[in-house]
Amino acid sequence: MKIAWGVTGAGHLLLETFSAFDKISKFADISVFFSKAGEEVANMYGLFGSIHKRFPSFYLESQEGSSFPSSGLFSMGKFDTLVISPTTSNTVAKIAHGISDTLITTIVSQALKGNVPVIIVPTDFRAGTAKTKLPFIVKNSYCLDCQNVCIALDVCKYDAIWLNGDKKAHIDYLKCVGCGDCLIQDCAAISFGDEINITILEKDVENVKKIAEILGITVLEHPLQILEILNKISLEKKKKLKNEDLSTEFKAKIESVKL
């Protein structure tokens, strides 16, 4: 089974999706497609490198032009299913309104045109409050000025930590690769994975409902459900292939009777 996995710029459900794909890779070949924001956010959570290492077949929006040539793979029958997880409210809104101006929205559109089933796991599934985890942050109230030497800054190989005028540390999120080297015992200011509550907006949930009505798209609430649905698609495909084989066999039999 050949699966295309699209990653958008969402921190919510990113780790859970990575674990689900780790399991899926035991029975499927996986190629990964990253939106520009997806690449950045996966880096912030320290997952970009791990995903690249685990799934070397890779397509980056940041390295494609405006026409997204890799989306042609979906018309050429190269994939059995496309899974977008996690899917930002931005990407969901674009799909709901027929816009394809990013790598991810374009592969969704090409997959639908090529009759490839599309599975979408949105970050904003249900209105109300949801818990989500933050990437690496600096809690400036714990910044002790460290006699003008910031140990977190010193240890960062990527120059992602800098001090502003008041000697407080800050993270440059476009440089941070989430390696975690700055989580040192003597510094209480850096932390990772802090939970916060976010409000899921009604308008984003409305867009999720819209895409769930598009023929060819299945919307799931959690990445763990991807495994279940892929098993179902694989069984249906096997059944279809078996029926096709049987009908070819049947046709051949009729031909031989005619002769």
Residues lying near ligand FMN in the complex (CB under 6 A): 8-12, 35, 37-38, 41, 44, 88-91, 102, 104, 123, 135
Q: Looking at residue 13, what DSSP letter applies?
A: T
Q: What are the phi and psi torsion angles at 87 (to 5°)?
A: -115, 120
Dihedral through CA 31, CA 60, CA 6, CA 199, nearest 10?
150
Nearest to ligand FMN of 37, 120 (CB atom): 37
In the bound complex, which residue of the shown chain has the CB atom lying closest to ligand FMN?
A: 9
Nearest to ligand FMN of 102, 218 (CB atom): 102
Q: Are 95 and 82 in contact (CB under 8 A)?
A: no
Nearest to ligand FMN of 104, 187 (CB atom): 104
209 Rama class: left (phi>0) / alpha (psi -120 to 50) / beta? alpha
**Minimum separation from the CB atom of position 64 to ligand FMN (A):** 13
Q: Are 204 and 92 in contact (CB under 8 A)?
A: yes
* β-pair partners for 5: 32, 83
**Minimum separation from the CB atom of position 122 to ligand FMN (A):** 8
**Minimum separation from the CB atom of position 168 to ligand FMN (A):** 20
Nearest to ligand FMN of 34, 74 (CB atom): 34
**Minimum separation from the CB atom of position 194 to ligand FMN (A):** 12
Q: Looking at residue 201, what DSSP letter applies?
A: P
**Minimum separation from the CB atom of position 1 to ligand FMN (A):** 25
Closest Cα partner for 119 from 246, 238, 186, 217? 217
Close Cβ partners of 143 (under 8 Å, ≥ 6 residues apart): 150, 167, 168, 169, 189
Q: Beta 81-87 vs 2-7: how paired, if at all?
A: parallel
Distance between CA atoms of 167 and 180, rounded to whole angstroms? 21
Nearest to ligand FMN of 162, 192 (CB atom): 192
- 105: exposed, middle or buried (C-beta count within 10 Å: 0-12, 13-18, 19+)? buried
Nearest to ligand FMN of 24, 95 (CB atom): 95
**Minimum separation from the CB atom of position 79 to ligand FMN (A):** 20
**Minimum separation from the CB atom of position 101 to ligand FMN (A):** 9
Nearest to ligand FMN of 8, 109 (CB atom): 8
